[in-house]
A and B are shown apart, each in its own frame.
Chain A
Amino acid sequence: MIDAMTLLTIVLMAGVTYLSRIGGYVVLRNRVLSARATAVMEAAPGCVLISVIAPAFVSRNPADLAALAVTFVAATRFSMLPTVLIGVGAAGILRHLIG
């Protein structure tokens, strides 16, 4: 049911994740950041999010690229739920038709 190596990996993952959650608070709690550092800080979450989904932008499957384009346009207009439904629907239909 639980493999020792898997458990160790999960516990270490949880440990570094919790450190990332308290680190910013502990280190920067009583400091005022420069405007430049603040600008970097504000760009950071977006930089990480777009990097994680970057492979979708260079997919070799035309159906996936078309579905991503539809999802992208939906994301600029709609809230979370409609965007997810449109994205999943577009990917399912386009892969069926093209892929």
Chain B
Amino acid sequence: MSILQTVEATGERSGSEFRRGVASCAPVLLGTIPYALVLGAQATQKGLSVVELSLMTGLNFAGGSEFAAIQLWTSPPHIVLIVAITFLVNSRHLLMGAALAPFLRHLPRRKVFPALFFMCDESWALGLADARQRAGAGLMPAFSPRYYMGAALAMYLTWVSFTTVGALLGPMLGDVGTYGFDMAFPAVFLVLMRGMWKGMAPALPWLVSLVVAALVYLLVPGAWYVAAGAVSGLASAWLLWRQEP
């Protein structure tokens, strides 16, 4: 990647870049709200207080791992299991950060480290797609930090506030499963996956992950199905890889 930084136009348009990030995130935010409410409501049913749940979503800020943690939550919690599953569910961040790294080379670490705290599936996908688009249009630097932070902070505030609202409303809602809100979770994930779709061959590892995770879920107690599915999918991606002619 070229180190040429021809245009430094981002300075004067910083406010509009931030707003552009917030705006592009808006449809995702609306999809996130039901999912946040469900998590908050489920957490209170597992015995977490509102403050504890807000601390979890505010400090951890990774929805998938929080759903997994709440599903596995007991009183007292099984710390090792929950922390291990949290790391496994979030291990995709390692790859996401690696994919983003080439676009962050022009930024100082003191900016990158705080910015990465807010990296979630959505802000990552939006920031990376935007950087690729800008690179294609010849804009340098391709990555727009303010666009990314607009999307990321909008996500963060929405996530923390609506999980808290869910926890406050939880005791009134009763079992959220009866209303169908829990289907928001597969819906959000399936739409995210469609965004990553690049054809049948690159998606084969996903099918391996699905089959293995489903089998392990049926046969092995606990949440090991996430790890088993993810690891087998990655192994098959490695094994199925063919050099392009």
The chain A residues found within 8 Å of chain B, CB to CB, are 1-3, 5-14, 16-29, 33, 35-36, 39-58, 67-68, 71-72, 74-76, 78-81, 83-84, 86-95
Given contacts A9-B77, A14-B60, A58-B214, contact A43 B55 (CB under 8 A): no
B173 interface residue (CB < 8 Å to A): no
Is there an interface contact between A87 and B187, defined as CB atoms closer than 8 Å? yes
Interface pairs (8), CB distance under 8 Å:
A1-B52, A6-B76, A10-B60, A23-B94, A50-B206, A50-B233, A83-B31, A87-B187
B221 interface residue (CB < 8 Å to A): no
List residues 77-133 of chain B with CB under 8 A from any CB of chain A. 77, 79, 82-83, 86-87, 89-101, 104-105, 112-113, 116-117, 119, 121
Partner of B226, one of A22, A48, A68: A48
Is there an interface contact between B234 and A57, defined as CB atoms closer than 8 Å? no
Is there an interface contact between B79 and A12, defined as CB atoms closer than 8 Å? yes
- Give the residues in chain A near B27, CB-CB below 8 Å: 79-81
Which of the segments B6-14, B155-163, B196-204 contacts the partner chain?
A: B196-204
| Contact size range, B | 35 or more
Select from chain B the residue with minimum beta-carbon distance to A28: B98
- Give the residues in chain A near B190, CB-CB below 8 Å: 53, 71-72, 75, 83
Select from chain B the residue with minimum beta-carbon distance to A49: B189
Cα A87 to Cα B68 in complex, Å, equals 20
Interface residues of chain B: helix, strand, loop or mixed (majority): helix
Given contacts A22-B116, A24-B98, A83-B190, contact A46 B243 (CB under 8 A): no
Is there an interface contact between A87 and B64, defined as CB atoms closer than 8 Å? no
A14 → chain B, closest Cβ, in Å?
Answer: 4
Is there an interface contact between A17 and B93, defined as CB atoms closer than 8 Å? yes
Interface residues of chain A: helix, strand, loop or mixed (majority): helix
A24 → chain B, closest Cβ, in Å?
Answer: 3
- Give the residues in chain A near B69, CB-CB below 8 Å: 9, 13
Cα A40 to Cα B228 in complex, Å, equals 16
Is there an interface contact between B188 and A16, defined as CB atoms closer than 8 Å? no
Most buried by B among A33, A41, A48, A93: A48
Is there an interface contact between B90 and A83, defined as CB atoms closer than 8 Å? no
Is there an interface contact between A22 and B180, defined as CB atoms closer than 8 Å? no
Partner of A41, one of B52, B62, B95, B243: B95
> What 10 A-B pairs are tightest by C-beta distance, nearest first?
A51-B229, A24-B97, A91-B180, A47-B233, A92-B180, A54-B213, A75-B190, A87-B187, A24-B98, A80-B31
Is there an interface contact between A45 and B196, defined as CB atoms closer than 8 Å? yes
Most buried by B among A13, A27, A67, A74: A13
Is there an interface contact between A45 and B92, defined as CB atoms closer than 8 Å? yes
Select from chain B the residue with minimum beta-carbon distance to A33: B98
Partner of A29, one of B31, B105, B119, B194: B105
B155 → chain A, closest Cβ, in Å?
Answer: 12
Given contacts A17-B60, A67-B180, contact A9 B82 (CB under 8 A): yes
Is there an interface contact between B101 and A25, defined as CB atoms closer than 8 Å? yes
Is there an interface contact between B116 and A25, defined as CB atoms closer than 8 Å? yes
Cα A94 to Cα B177 in complex, Å, equals 12
- Give the residues in chain B near A27, CB-CB below 8 Å: 94, 98
